[in-house]
Amino acid sequence: MRRSALLLAPIVALAGLAGCAPTSNDPIATDGGWSFTDEVGTTVNLDAQPERVASFTDYATGLLSAGVTPVAIFGRVDVASDERFADYDLSETAIVGNSYGEIDLEALAEAAPDVIIVGASPGDREGTIDLPYYGFADQEQQDQIAKIAPILTITVGGSGADVIEAQNDLSLALGGDEDLIAAAKADYDAAAADLTAAAQENDVELTHLYADADGLYLIKPGDSPEDELYRSLGATFTDLDPEGDYYWDIHSWENAADVSSSDVLLIDNEGFQQSDLEAQPTFASNPALAAGQVHTWIVSSFDYASQAAHMTELAEIIRNSKNL
């Protein structure tokens, strides 16, 4: 289940446009070459700025929003039905994986990427990075893909604002358009201010969870960059055991009735949905579920454009919900 953390797997003023000022991650050009060091310390040196980029879907949307079109992408769900790509043209992009860890290595190699972008997922609050990287089935697959092209990561842990900054840094290093990012940031700032206003108008409690046949997995807002971002803007999230196990509060269906304090359920789109939850006798009386205040939640990418849309959606949910 830890590998599922980013499937669910998310201040108003981020200081300036992330990535525009020099940072330790800025690319270094020497004698026509290109060098970039990611947050886990991996340095990729190339003869020139990469022109052909492959990416896991979570970070591909960030690249696209900055004007960088990947030559290949792979994800955990069918890319053709992935709502995050609805506004982007993928006609020139090879889809080399539609299920987590299932990557067509031959198709990826045929796309001839100069660099491959995936996630680095912390496994604890100290920031210890899980291996393999997020996007790969196992270490063997990661090693095979590393032979196709160098791998760079975006660390998705801690502050949501920091993850956005890391995405922008890498997008700009790969030729992203500063004007596109600046325009998206303006929308982001407006959406962030509106989310704060909505939370002040209606202080409902949100429970963000994944559910399957084994039980409920509540996301801890302090461990989820997405929820940490929204909480920093004023949204209230269920946080039953913030000092307990990392990322998840896990409840079997036998003790699912303990999860009863929320006003709104945000349920991961890849797990049980509303009708499945209603079929569980120990959870059917949950106040939010009984009131129909249930919303399918799709994991959002960490770029200004994606987060602006997600925060706008969350603000609407908050305003249209009742305290229970």
- Could you report the per-residue pLDDT of 159-189, keeping only the tens digit for each? 999 999 999 999 999 999 999 999 999 999 9
- Could you report the per-residue pLDDT of 258-287, keeping only the tens digit for each? 888 889 999 999 999 999 999 999 999 999
Query: Has residue 191 been placed in a domain?
Result: yes
- Could you report the per-residue pLDDT of 225-242, keeping only the tens digit for each? 999 999 999 999 999 999
What is the span of the domain harbouring residue 204? 187-319
Specify whether 130 is located in the same domain as 195.
Answer: no
Helix (H) / strand (E) element for 107: namely helix 105-110
Query: Has residue 324 been placed in a domain?
Result: no
Specify whether 80 is located in the same domain as 170.
Answer: yes
Specify whether 159 is located in the same domain as 205.
Answer: no
Mean pLDDT within 186-213? 97
Q: Which residue, 129, 161, 185, sits at the end of a domain?
A: 185
**Rounded to whole angstroms, how far apart are CA atoms 232 and 217?**
22
Specify whether 29 is located in the same domain as 158.
Answer: yes
- Whole-model pTM above 0.85? yes
pLDDT band at 6 (very low <50, low <70, confident <90, very high): very low
Number of H helices, E strands in the chain: 9, 13
- Could you report the per-residue pLDDT of 17-59, keeping only the tens digit for each? 333 333 445 555 556 799 999 999 999 999 999 999 999 999 9
- Report pLDDT for 261: 82
- Could you report the per-residue pLDDT of 54-75, keeping only the tens digit for each? 999 999 999 999 999 999 999 9
- Could you report the per-residue pLDDT of 93-128, keeping only the tens digit for each? 999 999 999 999 999 999 999 999 999 999 999 999
